[in-house]
Amino acid sequence: MTDTLSGKRVAFLATDGYEDSELTSPWQAVTDAGATAVLVSPASGSIEGKNGHEQPVDLASDAADAADFDALVLPGGVVNADHLRMDEASVAFAKAFFAQHKPVGAICHAAWTLIEGDVVRGRTLTSYPSLTTDLRNAGATWVDEEVVVDEGFVTSRTPDDLPAFNAKLIEEFAEGKHAKQTA
């Protein structure tokens, strides 16, 4: 355990149907680095991943304020991302991190929520390959790489990329705000 992220609060934005490892692995990484992780969701009580992991919800999306956090992680999962992109409060919450120049990590299908928030235009990122056309149509440059960092915006493709994703999350979150991380 290190204290690289000591004193930092990291929001995780997810709902039912998230990819279990894409929530649990980054959660463990940031808490092991000393951060406090907080689950934000449009659901109440707890949420369930596609493989059965349950995670208690700490804060409702419509009550969450990006100003109260240092960074954001968006786990993937088709159902999770599809539901989040249809929830105005969740999209606004995610978009606010970009407006406040705070680091954001998104893996797999999570980029759908960010497309909805119109924060990928002009950015270079990766995702699950089926989002390639969606991202390009939204103005992003999509690349097929294990992990991509673009001014505090960390993206990866699948659970296979979690070791690299987690390492870059810790690095970017420790650096803090990035002037070119914008909405």
What is the set of active-site residues?
108-109
Dihedral sign computed on CA atoms, order 152, 139, 84, 163: negative
The DSSP line for 49-74 is -TTS-EEE--EEGGG--GGG-SEEEE
Q: What are phi and psi of 26, to 5 degrees?
A: -65, -35
Return the closest-CA partner of residue 113 out of 12, 30, 45: 12
